[in-house]
């Protein structure tokens, strides 16, 4: 019963706020949605303690029989294991805090009830995704969060940029979702079932089997894994399908915190971890995941160094951290990936909500070049942002330090075979893991640089805002600050408190059957890597901090000199490696040209000309001819009648006599 309450309470709240909010008022909508999410969050923590920390058994909770078609039978059921309860905590904790924060942030918006309803609807869809017991139900939740994100990103629908961003997010995600759907079709074709338990139990039977397609042969498990990963790439904004994520910042800041920091973008990470029994049987697919994740981490980090919109910097940081999670999955460090997902939810939601507090205090200004010197005027927001930044950059003993460092160490361990004393026995010859390790180190340096750049440009130095904005800078109300306090606790303590369970000595008893490993647990070796590997993320963090300090505090004229000297490199990063321009050239313009061709040639000059328009024109021409016969003179009509009688008599006489014989 507890799991049904956790999942369906947000749906009930969304329906009540959506259908009755306009009649019963905004306060009613805010009360039902916030109270529903807080209750779900409390119950989620209870489930996490019971199942995860106290070793409760995995269970399947059937809600109802959903699809019955011949031999195909799918129940609507919840798969409850450690991975599920971890995601329940992440989703409901962050969502409940975002709901509370939204009361203050959206206080001047005339459509508060609709906004709160959308937030709760999104939460329900995400809960359906993470509790799913089969691929069909997962796809339902997968598409549900896509719909809700479209509604939330385009919430300010009178703003053209918001509508464009919502459409972009929807279209780009359709590409990934198509791959995911094909993966599900391939799974059903292979296993004859969509149930996780049945599919995962039989994956080993198909190891080494091939599938024939277009006269070619492909490894069956690898094909399925790569198709599933395409879906994960779209939802979790991996390089190539990432372009929607930064544009999604057009939505209200609470949306950014909920969808793009802690919940929806982690759906792909969750899906790959859930499907670990499939991925573990394809070394090639694992290598692809590691390489794509590492490339995304470094790509987004380089772009984040040049952005000036405070929310876009945090958005690209999210994209980069998702890359870390994926290359952890790719090297088999599933526990480390989910651990980073868990800790990242706290400090990244903290940074997004903190950025929203800065924007709120600065009269809706988002350009960091027009900020500066804010730390004295909004000290509580500044403190929260500092905690989030320290956690993100991996400052010792904060949350990010435990999870991100473990990912980097796992990548090194996967690239080398190490004994219990940390001595290298031999290279494991896993190019993806080795690439991920070095890209992870470099991305850690850039993460530190752009994170402290944000802090220095926003809170330190002289104010670059107009005098009018400076006069109105004020601390956010407590309704917006309380969520920052709670998230700060998570950013400070979640990593150290739960490290032993997620990635430490209690790994096996914590995860049990939730994560599958075909071979040895790579994180066992990760605890025995050489000292220089352990120290490298810290060195990278300090180096990034010092570079940022010198560029934006000690010598603030240096960045301008750098951008003018290395303008091509700067423009390459500022324009996001020109992905949008390339896609515009390769896909958007050809699609528009093709559409214009079919519109003008096929539709107007083809179908319309010879179809409905042609028929109308022909009827009109014939009507004009017959119109000429309507002269209005009686003798014309009499003459026509005589001609008609004569023709009739001729026909009758001719054919009544045997055809003229």
What is the band of 261 on the pLDDT scale with cuts at 50, 70, 90?
Answer: low
What is the per-residue DSSP string for 217-266? Answer: EEEHHHHHHHHHHHHHHHHTT-TTS-THHHHGGGS-HHHHHIIIIISGGG
Query: How is residue 369 annotated by DSSP?
Result: G
pLDDT at 422: 52
- The answer on pLDDT for 257 being more than 90 is no
In this prediction, residue 214 carries a pLDDT of: 73
- H or E stretch including 80? strand 72-80
User: In terms of DSSP bridges, do strands 416-418 and 424-427 run parallel, antiparallel, or are they unpaired?
Assistant: antiparallel
At residue 631, the pLDDT reads 74
Give the model confidence (pLDDT) of 27-61 as tens digits: 999 999 999 999 999 999 999 999 988 887 888 88
pLDDT given at position 427 = 43
pLDDT at 489 over 90: yes
Weakest mean pLDDT among 223-227, 248-252, 278-282, 402-406: 248-252
Q: pLDDT per residue over 168-213, tens digit each? A: 999 999 999 999 999 999 999 999 889 999 999 999 899 888 888 7
3-state secondary structure of 320: helix
Mean pLDDT is lowest, of 458-462, 524-528, 607-611, for 607-611
pLDDT band at residue 387 under the 50/70/90 scheme: very high
Segment 112-129 shows an average pLDDT of 93
Residues whose CB is less than 8 angstroms from the CB of residue 327 and which lie 6 or more positions away in sequence, other chains included: 289, 290, 291, 292, 293, 294, 297, 407, 411, 432, 436, 439, 440
For position 657, what pLDDT does the model report?
65
**Residue scoring higher pLDDT (656 or 517):** 517
Model pLDDT, residue 541: 96
In this structure, are strands 424-427 and 210-213 parallel, antiparallel, or unpaired? unpaired
Read off the pLDDT band of 652 (50, 70, 90): confident
| Exposure on the CB side of residue 289, measured as CA atoms within 13 A | 38
What does the alpha-carbon distance between residue 471 and residue 326 come to, in Å, rounded to a whole number?
45
Least confident of 349-358, 374-383, 401-410, 640-649: 640-649
Q: Is the pLDDT of residue 430 over 70?
A: no
Element (H, E) at 166: helix 160-191
Q: What is the average pLDDT score of the chain?
A: 89
The arithmetic mean of pLDDT across residues 406-425, rounded, is: 73
What integer pLDDT is reported at residue 226 of this predicted model?
95
Instruction: Compute the Cα dihedral for 84, 90, 93, 99 and give only its sign.
Output: negative
Give the pLDDT of residue 426.
41
Is pLDDT above 90 for 466?
Answer: no
What the block records as the tokens of 15 is 């329906």
Residue 425 confidence (pLDDT): 44
Residue 441's nearest CA partner among 538, 319, 322 is 538
Predicted local distance difference test score (pLDDT) of residue 404:
94
Q: Which of 141-150, 237-246, 610-619 has the lowest mean pLDDT?
A: 610-619
Q: Are the C-beta atoms of 523 and 410 separated by less than 8 Å? A: yes
Q: What is the pLDDT of residue 500?
A: 92
Residues 6+ apart with CB under 8 A from 571: none
Query: Residue 423's pLDDT is what?
Result: 53
**Token pair listed for 35:** 């109270």
Contacts of 354 (CB under 8 A, 6+ apart): 381, 384, 385, 388, 484
What's the average model confidence in pLDDT over 259-263? Answer: 70
Residue 138 contacts residue 78 (beta carbons within 8 Å): no
- Residue 429 is predicted with a pLDDT of 45
Task: Give, in order, the Cα–Cα distances in Å from 250 to each of 160, 235, 404.
Answer: 10, 18, 29
Ramachandran region of residue 589, left (φ > 0), alpha (ψ -120 to 50) or beta? alpha
Collapsed DSSP state (helix, strand, coil) of residue 110? coil
pLDDT of residue 612: 78
Q: How high is the pLDDT of residue 658? A: 58
CA atoms within 13 A on the CB side of 213: 7
Q: Report which of residues 546 and 361 the model is more confident about.
A: 546
Residue among 643, 453, 486, 428 nearest 558 (CA): 453
* Percent of the chain at pLDDT exceeding 90: 57
Report how far residue 322's alpha carbon sits from residue 161's, in angstroms, rounded to the nearest whole number.
Answer: 25
Of 118 and 474, the structure prediction assigns the larger pLDDT to 118
Chain-centre distance for alpha carbon 35: 26
What size, in residues, is the chain?
661
Instruction: Quick: pLDDT tens for 519-549.
Output: 778 888 888 889 999 999 999 999 999 999 9
At residue 391, does pLDDT exceed 90?
yes
Top-ranked range on mean pLDDT: pick from 148-152, 449-453, 466-470:
449-453
**CA dist., res. 637 & res. 617, Å (int):** 27
| pLDDT of amino acid 428 | 45
């Amino acid at each position: 019963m507890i799991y049904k309450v956790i999942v369906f309470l947000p749906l009930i709240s969304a329906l009540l706020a959506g259908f009755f909010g306009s009649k019963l008022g905004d306060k009613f909508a805010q009360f039902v949605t916030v109270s529903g999410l807080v209750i779900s969050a409390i119950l989620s923590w209870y489930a996490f303690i019971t199942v995860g920390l106290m070793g409760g058994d995995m269970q399947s909770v059937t809600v109802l029989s959903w699809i019955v078609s011949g031999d195909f039978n799918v129940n609507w059921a919840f798969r409850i294991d450690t991975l599920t309860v971890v995601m329940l905590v992440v989703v409901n904790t962050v969502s409940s805090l975002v709901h509370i924060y939204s009361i203050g942030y959206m206080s001047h918006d005339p459509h508060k009830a609709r906004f709160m309803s959308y937030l709760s609807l999104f939460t329900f869809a995400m809960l359906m995704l993470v509790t799913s017991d089969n691929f069909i139900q997962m796809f339902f939740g997968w598409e549900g969060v896509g719909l809700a994100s479209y509604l939330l990103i385009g919430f300010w629908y009178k703003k053209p940029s918001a509508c464009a961003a919502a459409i972009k997010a929807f279209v780009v995600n359709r590409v990934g979702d198509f791959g995911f759907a094909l993966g599900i079709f391939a799974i059903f074709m292979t296993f004859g079932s969509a149930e996780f338990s049945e599919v995962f139990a039989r994956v080993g039977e198909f190891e080494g089997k091939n599938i024939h397609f277009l006269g070619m042969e492909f490894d069956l498990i690898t094909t399925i894994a790569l198709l599933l990963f395409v879906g994960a790439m779209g939802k979790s904004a991996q390089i190539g399908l990432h372009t929607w994520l930064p544009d999604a910042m057009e939505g209200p800041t609470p949306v950014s915190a909920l969808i793009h920091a802690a919940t929806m973008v982690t759906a792909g990470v969750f899906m790959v971890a859930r499907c670990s029994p499939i991925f573990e049987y394809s070394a090639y697919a694992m290598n692809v995941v590691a390489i794509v994740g590492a490339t995304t981490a470094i790509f987004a980090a380089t772009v984040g160094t040049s952005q000036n919109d405070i929310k876009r910097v945090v958005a690209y940081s999210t994209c980069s951290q998702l890359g870390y999670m994926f290359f952890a999955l790719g090297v088999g460090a599933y526990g480390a990936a989910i651990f980073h997902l868990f800790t990242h939810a706290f400090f990244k939601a903290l940074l997004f909500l903190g950025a929203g507090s800065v924007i709120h205090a600065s009269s809706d200004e988002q350009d960091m070049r027009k900020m500066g010197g804010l730390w004295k005027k909004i000290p509580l927001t500044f403190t929260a942002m500092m905690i989030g930044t320290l956690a993100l950059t991996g400052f010792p003993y904060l949350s990010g330090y435990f999870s991100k460092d473990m990912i980097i160490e796992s990548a090194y361990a996967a690239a080398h075979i190490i004994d219990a004393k940390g001595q290298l026995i031999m290279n494991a010859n896993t190019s993806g893991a080795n690439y991920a390790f070095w890209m992870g180190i470099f991305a850690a340096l850039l993460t530190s640089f752009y994170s402290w750049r944000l802090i220095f440009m926003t809170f330190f130095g002289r104010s670059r805002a107009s005098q009018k904005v400076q006069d109105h800078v004020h601390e956010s109300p407590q309704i917006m600050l309380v969520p920052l306090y709670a998230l700060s606790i998570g950013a400070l303590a979640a990593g150290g408190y739960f490290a032993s369970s997620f990635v430490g000595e209690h790994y096996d008893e914590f995860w049990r059957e939730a994560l599958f490993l075909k071979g040895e647990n790579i994180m066992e070796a990760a605890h025995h890597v050489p000292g220089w590997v352990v120290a490298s993320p810290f060195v990278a963090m300090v180096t990034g901090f010092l570079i940022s300090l010198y560029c934006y505090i000690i010598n603030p004229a240096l960045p301008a000199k750098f951008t003018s000297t290395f303008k091509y490199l700067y423009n390459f990063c500022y324009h996001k490696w020109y992905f949008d321009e390339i896609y515009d050239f390769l896909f958007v313009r050809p699609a528009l040209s093709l559409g214009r061709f079919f519109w003008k040639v096929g539709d107007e000059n083809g179908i319309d000309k010879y179809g409905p328009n042609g028929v109308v024109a022909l009827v009109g021409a014939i009507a004009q001819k017959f119109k000429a016969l309507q002269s209005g003179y009686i003798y014309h009509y009499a003459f026509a009648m005589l001609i008609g009688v004569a023709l009739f008599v001729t026909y009758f006489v001719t054919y009544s006599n045997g055809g003229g014989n």
